[in-house]
Amino acid sequence: MSFNYSALFQNRELKYYELVNKHQVSVIISNYGARILKINCPNKNGNMDDIVGGFDSIQEYLNRNQYYGAICGRYANRIAYGRFTLDHTDFQLDINHPPHHLHGGTHGIHTKIWDIQVEDNSSLKATLKCDSGEMGYPGNLNISLYFKLNDDNQLVLKYEATSDLDTIINLAPHSYFNLGGTENILDHTLQIHAHQISEIDPDCIPTGHFLNIENTDLDFNLPKCIGEDIQSTMNQMQICKGYDHNYVLLKDRDLNKPVAILSEYNSGRTLSIYTSQPGLQLYTCNWGDKTEIGKGNKIYRTRSFVCLEPQHFPDSPNHSHFPTTVLKVNETYSHYTIYEFGTL
């Protein structure tokens, strides 16, 4: 079912679409940034609630140019100084996180109006064409996103893209999760199946080295509360004042098993994440003293949410030993992410 917003943007009508399964789990998606605006799922007592952060009006999304619920790209995460070389040609991208490039630039795909095709009550297709040269990227890029909410309480996201020139691409969802509706996510339990992270410099740019994290404060191989080690004195943690790291997922993993599991005891909610991507960015909203007003006039503070973003590695175009993010002409970029909602 679709509803009209009372606003126009880029001379187009803003709309949102609701996907519902037989359990009455629902997901609301906007054509603005292909954003996930709401995910309503049950707690252990069967009570429904929204588990993602965001705003009450589309105008707030337009005014703030933030990433709540958006699909980020054309290159999610950071590219150092916005520079890369491809096919012996140097490219300069938009610098929107000085002195670096973040999440596709000021006018990345999170700011675009997508074309939506509703397939049925539980699935839709979103498409977008990005012009060559926009934000500095080469190639006319055609992106297709498929959203499916199945009766196993899984939200399946599939991405496909093609380009008429060799280019780079890294698409990632950027939902902000709080499973219990609590003030912060420090008591959420998290498990991530990874033994390494991409080591970062003081600007949160990868150094090119992979850091072994077993038995350190960055280790989530065994489930632990997010808040247990978040005040760590480790250099890698001090840089971010919390977690903002790319976890290197196991290459030989079973794709039928989740790469990460998030849970919250009081609500009993769980979120399991499956993906074909090689990395998972863990971000704990390390905002310091910054606050903002979100849904229901609730005050969002540092640690209010946790982001778990399946993607390729940050700054991959500048590190030849990282998994490639090059999309060549006549090839198709193809990846998926699955969010599975459950209870303890």
Contact 211, 197 (CB under 8 A): yes
174 is catalytic: yes
Residues in the chain: 344
CA-CA distance, 317 to 310, in Å (whole number)?
Answer: 17
CA-CA distance, 241 to 275, in Å (whole number)?
Answer: 27
CA-CA distance, 244 to 251, in Å (whole number)?
Answer: 21
Q: Match 């090119």 to its residue by tokens.
A: 208
CA-CA distance, 168 to 83, in Å (whole number)?
Answer: 12
Out of 100, 103, 110, 174, the active site residue is 174
Mapped onto helix, strand or coil, the DSSP state of residue 295 is: helix
214 is catalytic: no
Q: What torsion do the CA atoms of 194, 252, 256, 189 make, to the nearest 10 degrees?
A: -10
Q: Which residues pair with 16 in a beta bridge?
A: 3, 30
Out of 188, 264, 309, 335, the active site residue is 309
Active site positions, annotated? 174, 309
